[in-house]
């Protein structure tokens, strides 16, 4: 069986090819799956996709018409897939339900500390042999309050690091995590968390009920000198509202590894093109904002686990088995 993998990064390609060796024939492409590239998949029973691929109705119909029967998504998130259409078309859809939570939690902390201690600005200065400390003053995390929206595996890993810093822990989630409570976390309303936290971090999935979880009202509720970190999904934050608050001089720092309109931008080289997204163009100009290109998961450990789970998903599909990773079962 031939598998076509879309949106494969250069570092991922040898790992994917090695993982499928002896099982199936896999072809890796660096282009993302969308309406324009979907015809490439003709004759491939399985397509392997990433979170920035477009698997809307039009793309799914094109895939099915070309003989594709399974979508193996290399991510936990699946908001880019129209599951109802996939089910109606008789497709099987699987994802990676979990991988190293430490990869994302550690990167979220990297963003938080980078904006807190002005690391990017300091590094830029020293490259120019400017060794002044003006404007580089940060704050101790010890004794301050970390507000964690979403306390699943990643949120818990973030909380453990925060506990190591000696921080007070506030949590918000639909269900309380006993492991977080053992660390001393207190579960409160979202409003109280935003009002009292010095550091707010997002670790919830993107669903209709969490879209723009951090909207204009939520941003106004936060402390003027708070730090905001989002390493989950871009749609959790109303970016236009965030820009408006930043223009008022608010927030010590903002670290974003995701962006609500990142599809067609992130993972690609746009350095020689004019960026038409005015909101993103304005966002990256603020000296207290650090934007990275959805790389929180990108460790050899996490990517290895993602690829291993993807191979297992394809093998399960071939054998007619069902696992917790299946979103739409084989019809």
Q: What percent of the chain has pLDDT over 90?
A: 91
pTM of the model: 0.91
Max Cα distance, the chain (Å): 65
Q: Which residue shows structure tokens 């001089």? A: 249
In contact, 258 and 294? CB cutoff 8 Å: yes
* Cα radius of gyration (the chain): 21
Cross-sheet strand order for the sheet of 2-5: 25-28, 2-5, 46-49, 70-73, 92-94, 326-328
Give the pLDDT confidence score for residue 203 in this predicted structure.
98
Q: What is the mean pLDDT of the chain?
A: 95
Pairwise CA distance, residues 171 & 193, whole Å? 7
Q: Which residues are tagged catalytic?
A: 233, 262, 294
**176: number of Cβ within 10 Å:** 14
Query: What pLDDT digit, counting tens, does each position of 77-126 carry?
Result: 898 999 999 999 999 999 999 999 999 999 999 999 999 999 999 999 99
Give SS3 for 66: coil
Give residue 111's pLDDT.
98
pLDDT < 70 positions in the chain: none
In sequence order, which residues have a C-beta less than 8 Å from that of residue 227 and are 6 or more positions away? Answer: 112, 115, 116, 198, 199, 200, 251, 252, 253, 254, 255
Q: Where are the beta strands (DSSP E) in the chain?
A: 2-5, 25-28, 46-49, 70-73, 92-94, 145-149, 168-172, 186-187, 199-202, 227-230, 253-256, 289-291, 326-328
User: Quick one: pLDDT at residue 264?
Assistant: 84
Which whole-number Å values give the CA distances from 164 to 40, 141, 150, 310, in the listed order? 49, 10, 19, 34
Classify residue 10 as exposed, middle or buried by CB count within 10 Å of its CB (0-12, 13-18, 19+): exposed
Q: Where are the alpha helices (DSSP H) in 203-283?
A: 216-221, 239-247, 278-283
């Amino acid at each position: 069986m031939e598998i076509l993998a879309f949106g494969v990064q250069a570092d991922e390609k040898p790992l994917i090819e090695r993982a499928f060796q002896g099982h199936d024939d896999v072809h890796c492409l660096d282009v993302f799956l969308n309406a324009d590239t979907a015809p490439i998949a003709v004759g491939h029973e399985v397509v392997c996709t990433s979170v920035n691929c477009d698997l809307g109705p039009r793309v799914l119909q094109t895939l099915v018409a070309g003989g594709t029967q399974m979508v193996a998504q290399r991510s936990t998130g699946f908001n880019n897939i129209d599951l109802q259409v996939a089910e109606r078309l008789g497709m099987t859809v699987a994802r990676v339900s979990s991988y190293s939570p430490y990869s994302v939690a550690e990167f979220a902390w990297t963003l938080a500390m980078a904006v807190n201690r002005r690391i990017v600005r300091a590094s830029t200065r020293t490259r120019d042999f400017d060794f002044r400390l003006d404007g580089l003053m940060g704050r101790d995390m010890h004794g301050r309050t970390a507000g964690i929206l979403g306390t699943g595996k990643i949120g818990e890993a973030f909380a453990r690091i925060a506990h190591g810093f000696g921080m007070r822990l506030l949590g918000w989630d639909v269900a309380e995590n006993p492991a977080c409570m053992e660390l001393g976390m207190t579960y409160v309303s979202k409003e109280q968390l935003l009002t009292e936290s010095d550091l707010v971090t997002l670790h919830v999935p993107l669903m209709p009920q969490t879209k723009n979880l951090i909207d204009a009202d939520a941003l106004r509720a936060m402390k003027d000198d708070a730090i905001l970190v989002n390493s989950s999904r871009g749609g959790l934050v109303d970016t236009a509202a965030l820009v408006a608050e930043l223009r008022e001089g608010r927030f010590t720092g903002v670290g974003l590894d995701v962006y609500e309109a990142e599809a067609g931008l992130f993972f690609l080289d746009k350095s020689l093109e004019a960026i038409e997204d005015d909101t993103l163009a304005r966002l990256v100009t603020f000296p207290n904002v650090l934007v990275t290109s959805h790389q929180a998961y990108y460790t050899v450990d996490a990517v290895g686990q993602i690829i291993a789970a993807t191979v297992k998903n394809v093998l399960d599909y071939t054998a007619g088995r069902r696992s917790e990773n299946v979103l739409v079962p084989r019809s």
